[in-house]
Structure 1
Amino acid sequence: MRGNINCTKYMLIAFNVLFFVVGGAILGAGAHLHIKEGPFMTLLPSMPFLNVANVMIFAGIVILVVSFIGGYGAIKEHQCLLLTYFVFMVLVFILEVTAGGLGFVYRWQVAKYVANEMRAGGLAKYNTPGEGGLTKAWDKLQSTLACCGVFNDTDWANTANGMFLPRQTPDSCCLFAAPGCGKDVNSEKFIRGCKGAIIMELESKAHVVGIACIIVAIFQIFGIGLAYTMWKSVSDRAGGNYV
Structure 2
Amino acid sequence: MRDYSENKETCGTICLKYLLFIFNFFFWLAGGAVMAVGIWTLAEKSDYISLLQSNTYMATAYILVVAGVVVMITGILGCCATFREQRSLLRVYFILLLCIFLLEVIAGILAYIYYQQLNTELKQNLKETMTQKYMKPDEVSVTSAVDKLQQEFKCCGSHNASDWSDSEWIRSPDALNRKFPDSCCKTVTDKCGQRDHPSNIYKEGGCITKLENFIQEHLKIIGAVGIGIAFVQIFGMLFTCCLYRNLKSEPY
Gaps of 5+ in 1: none
Separation (CA, whole Å) in 2 of partners of 1:190 and 1:81: 63
Aligned letter for 2:187? F
In the alignment, structure 1 residue 47 sits paired with structure 2 residue 54: yes
Give the C-alpha shift of residue 211 in structure 1: 2.8
Separation (CA, whole Å) in 1 of partners of 2:217 and 2:61: 14
Cα distance, 1:23–1:138 mapped onto 2, change above 3 Å: same
Give the C-alpha shift of residue 122 in structure 1: 3.9
Among 223, 226, 241, the alignment partner of 2:239 is: 226
In the alignment, structure 1 residue 183 sits paired with structure 2 residue 183: no
Aligned letter for 1:67? G
* Cα-to-partner distance string for 1:160-215 (whole Å, 9 max, x where unaligned): 34146999221222223232222221213153222211211122122223333343
Aligned letter for 1:136? S
Give the C-alpha shift of residue 139 in structure 1: 0.9
Separation (CA, whole Å) in 2 of partners of 1:98 and 1:35: 21
Cα distance, 1:209–1:106 mapped onto 2, change above 3 Å: closer
Q: Secondary structure at the match of 2:56?
A: helix
Give the C-alpha shift of residue 126 in structure 1: 1.5
Separation (CA, whole Å) in 2 of partners of 1:48 and 1:103: 11
Separation (CA, whole Å) in 2 of partners of 1:188 and 1:117: 23
Over aligned residue pairs, what C-alpha RMSD do you find?
2.6
* Cα-to-partner distance string for 1:124-182 (whole Å, 9 max, x where unaligned): 22223333332112112222233222212111111234146999221222223232222
166-175 or 78-87, which deviates more:
166-175
Give the C-alpha shift of residue 98 in structure 1: 4.3
Aligned to 1:192: 205
Q: Secondary structure at the match of 1:193?
A: coil
Separation (CA, whole Å) in 2 of partners of 1:157 and 1:242: 78
Cα distance, 1:56–1:182 mapped onto 2, change above 3 Å: farther
Separation (CA, whole Å) in 1 of partners of 2:44 and 2:168: 29
8 Å Cα contact 1:39-1:138 kept in structure 2: no
Cα distance, 1:183–1:206 mapped onto 2, change above 3 Å: same
Q: Secondary structure at the match of 1:8?
A: helix
Give the C-alpha shift of residue 89 in structure 1: 1.9
* Cα-to-partner distance string for 1:8-37 (whole Å, 9 max, x where unaligned): 112211211111111112212321221223
